[in-house]
C-alpha cells in the first residue's frame, strides 16, 4: 500500500477525461440527456484507472536501470552519459525515463519516452557539459511505466546515485597532443618548424656525410680514424617549463559559461602534456593575492598526474593578484633559466603598465611568455553589420576595446616580452605554438 501511495501518478489523459466530464455535466443544464453521458464517462474512467492500477501493481512488472559514464569528466566538454533500462511485463508498456542529473547543471527536462513491447534492454545516451571543476552527484533513475490505456503510471525508482569528478579537460589535452604529433598540424593551427643550427648538447660522433656542417668536424677523432668524423648534436632536452596561472579577479570573466581561469587550467594541462612528450620537465606555478604555490618541474607520466591533481585542486576568491609574490617565489625556487608560460588577463593599457616592472624582472633571468585573452564577444560585435544608430555606437566602442588589446600586446612586446593574444577556446593551441616556436629559435 505504501508503494502504491508513493508511486501512483495520474497522466494527462485523466486530466482531459475530467475536463470532458465537467463540460458534459455543465452542458446537461440545457440538454439533460448529457448528464447520463457524464455518468457513463465517469464510471468508465474509474474502471479504466482501476484496471490500469491492477495491471501495474500485479507483481509481474519489473524494471532495472543503470547509468554508465567516466569517473572523470572533462571540464568544458560534452561528456557522453549512457543509460540502460530493462522493463519486463506480460503486456505492452510505455516508458518515460527521467534521469536525475547533478543539480549544478540546472537541467530539469531530461526525460525520454519509449515504447516497450518486449524484454530487450533499452539503451540511450545524452551529453552533459560541466563548466566548473569539482564533484557532480547523479541521483536516481526514475522509470514511469504505463499500459496502453495510459491513465495511470507507476514510478520505479532505481538507485543509481554516483559521484563523479570534473577535471581539467582530458579531451582537450588529447586533441592538442594529436594535433602536435600528427601530420595534420596545419589544419588545427599547430606549426612545427625545422630547427636552424643546433644546440650544444652533444649526442655522438659519426662519419662525415655530404651535407654535414663542416663546423662540427671532430679533428681528434678524424686523426685517430684517418677518416673525416663529425660531432652530432640534438635539441636540448629536459628543460624546466612552468605553467604559471594568475588567480586574480581578471580571470573571473567568462566565455561560453567557463571562467578564464578554467580555460587557463585546461590549456595548462594540454600544454604540460606536450612539454612532457617533448622530453622536457613540466611544472606548475599559481599565485593570487595572498600566496603563491609551486609544483616543482619533473618528467614522466607521474608528473602529468601530479599536474592534473594540482590543477583540479585550484581554488581562489578572485581577489587582486600580487605579481610581486610571483617574482619572489621565482627568485627563491627557480635559480636556473626557465620558460614561464603565464596565463593571465589584461583589460587595459594602464593595467599592463602597472604589471610591466614585475614582468621585466621575470624576463631578465627567464623566458617569459604572457598569454592573455581576446574578447570574442566584442569581436563578434565588430563583425556584425550595424542596423541602427545604437549599433554604430556599440561597434565604435567595441573597435576601441579591440584596439586597446592590440596596444597592450604592443606595449609588452616593446618591453621584450613574448606575448600571445588568443581567444579562450584557442588558448591551448596558442600556448603550444609559442612553446614550439621558442624551441625552434633555440630560446629554450
- pLDDT for residue 287: 95
pLDDT at position 221, please?
87
- CA dist., res. 444 & res. 433, Å (int): 13
Residues of the chain with confidence (pLDDT) below 50: 183-189, 191-199
Three-state DSSP at 379 gives helix
Q: Report the number of distinct structural domains present in the chain.
A: 4
Nearest partner of 341 among 259, 434, 236, judged by Cα: 434
The answer on 403 and 382 residing in a single domain is yes
* In a shared domain, residues 289 and 402: yes
Return the pLDDT at 410: 92
Element (H, E) at 145: strand 141-146
State the pLDDT at residue 248: 93
Mean pLDDT of the chain: 87
Closest by CA to 136, choosing from 73, 76, 84, is 73
225 and 272, same domain (yes or no): no
Range of the domain at 327: 170-194+236-440
Cα–Cα distance list, 46 to 11, 14, 40, 150, 170 (Å): 14, 10, 10, 13, 56
Q: What is the pLDDT of residues 85-138, one digit of tens each?
A: 988 888 888 898 999 899 888 777 778 887 776 667 888 899 999 999 999 999
Q: Are residues 91 and 154 in the same domain?
A: yes
Do residues 141 and 97 lie in contact, with contact meaning Cβ atoms separated by under 8 Å? Answer: yes
Distance in angstroms (rounded) separating the CA atoms of residues 313 and 310: 5
Question: Do 96 and 130 belong to one domain?
Answer: yes
Q: Let me know whether 205 and 278 are in one domain.
A: no
Last residue of a domain, one of 11, 28, 56: 56
Same domain, residue pair 154 and 88: yes
Cell numbers describing residue 353: 603598465
CATH number at residue 342: 3.40.50.410
Residues 161 and 206 in one domain: no
Residue carrying C-alpha cell 652533444: 202
Nearest to 126 by CA among 101, 160, 147, 151: 101
**Whether residue 381 sits in one domain with residue 352:** yes
- Is residue 33 located within the same domain as residue 157? no
Same domain for 160 and 174? no
Measure the CA–CA gap between 282 and 269, rounded to whole angstroms.
10
Please answer whether residues 367 and 438 qualify as being in contact, where contact means their C-beta atoms are separated by less than 8 angstroms.
yes
Residue 3, C-alpha cell as written in the block: 508503494
CB atoms within 10 A of CB 254: 14
Q: pLDDT tens for residues 339-373? A: 999 999 998 899 999 999 999 999 999 999 999 99
33-56 and 12-27 helices cross at what angle (nearest 10)?
Answer: 160
pTM greater than 0.95: no
Are residue 314 and residue 339 in the same domain, yes or no?
Answer: yes
Cell numbers for 18: 475530467
DSSP H helix total and E strand total for the chain: 13, 21
Amino acid at each position: 500500500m505504501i508503494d502504491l501511495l508513493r508511486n501512483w501518478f495520474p497522466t494527462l489523459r485523466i486530466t482531459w477525461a475530467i475536463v470532458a466530464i465537467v463540460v458534459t455535466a455543465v452542458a446537461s443544464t440545457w440538454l439533460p440527456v448529457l448528464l447520463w453521458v457524464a455518468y457513463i464517462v465517469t464510471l468508465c474512467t474509474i474502471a479504466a484507472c482501476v484496471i490500469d492500477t491492477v495491471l501495474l501493481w500485479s507483481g509481474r512488472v519489473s524494471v532495472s536501470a543503470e547509468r554508465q559514464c567516466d569517473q572523470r569528466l572533462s571540464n568544458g566538454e560534452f561528456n557522453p552519459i549512457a543509460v540502460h533500462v530493462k522493463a519486463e511485463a506480460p503486456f505492452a508498456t510505455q516508458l518515460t525515463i527521467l534521469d536525475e542529473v547533478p543539480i549544478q547543471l540546472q537541467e530539469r527536462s531530461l526525460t525520454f519516452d519509449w515504447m516497450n513491447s518486449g524484454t530487450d534492454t533499452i539503451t540511450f545516451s545524452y551529453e552533459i557539459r560541466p563548466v566548473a571543476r569539482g564533484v557532480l552527484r547523479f541521483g536516481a533513475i526514475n522509470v514511469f511505466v504505463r499500459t496502453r490505456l495510459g491513465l495511470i503510471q507507476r514510478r520505479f525508482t532505481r538507485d543509481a546515485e554516483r559521484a563523479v569528478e570534473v577535471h581539467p579537460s582530458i579531451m582537450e589535452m588529447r586533441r592538442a597532443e594529436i594535433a602536435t604529433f600528427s601530420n595534420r598540424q596545419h589544419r588545427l593551427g599547430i606549426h612545427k618548424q625545422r630547427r636552424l643550427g643546433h644546440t650544444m648538447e652533444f649526442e655522438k660522433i659519426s662519419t662525415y656525410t655530404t651535407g654535414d656542417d663542416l663546423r662540427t668536424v671532430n679533428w681528434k677523432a678524424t686523426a685517430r680514424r684517418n677518416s673525416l668524423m663529425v660531432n652530432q648534436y640534438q635539441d636540448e632536452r629536459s628543460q624546466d617549463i612552468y605553467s604559471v596561472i594568475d588567480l586574480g579577479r581578471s580571470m573571473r570573466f567568462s566565455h561560453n559559461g567557463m571562467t578564464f581561469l578554467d580555460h587557463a587550467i585546461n590549456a595548462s594541462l594540454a600544454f604540460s602534456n606536450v612539454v612532457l612528450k617533448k622530453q622536457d620537465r613540466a611544472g606548475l606555478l599559481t599565485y593570487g593575492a595572498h600566496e603563491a604555490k609551486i609544483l616543482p618541474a619533473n618528467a614522466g607520466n607521474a608528473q602529468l598526474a601530479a599536474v592534473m591533481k594540482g590543477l583540479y585542486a585550484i581554488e581562489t576568491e578572485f581577489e587582486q593578484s600580487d605579481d610581486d609574490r610571483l617574482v619572489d617565489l621565482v627568485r627563491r625556487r627557480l635559480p636556473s633559466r626557465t620558460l614561464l608560460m603565464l596565463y593571465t588577463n589584461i583589460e587595459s593599457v594602464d593595467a599592463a603598465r602597472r604589471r610591466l616592472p614585475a614582468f621585466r624582472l621575470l624576463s631578465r633571468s627567464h623566458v617569459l611568455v604572457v598569454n592573455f585573452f581576446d574578447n570574442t564577444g566584442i569581436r563578434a560585435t565588430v563583425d556584425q553589420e550595424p542596423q541602427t544608430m545604437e549599433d554604430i555606437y556599440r561597434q565604435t566602442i567595441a573597435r576601441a576595446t579591440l584596439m586597446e588589446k592590440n596596444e597592450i600586446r604592443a606595449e609588452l612586446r616593446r618591453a621584450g616580452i613574448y606575448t600571445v593574444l588568443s581567444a579562450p577556446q584557442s588558448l591551448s593551441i596558442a600556448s603550444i605554438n609559442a612553446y614550439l616556436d621558442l624551441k625552434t629559435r633555440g630560446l629554450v
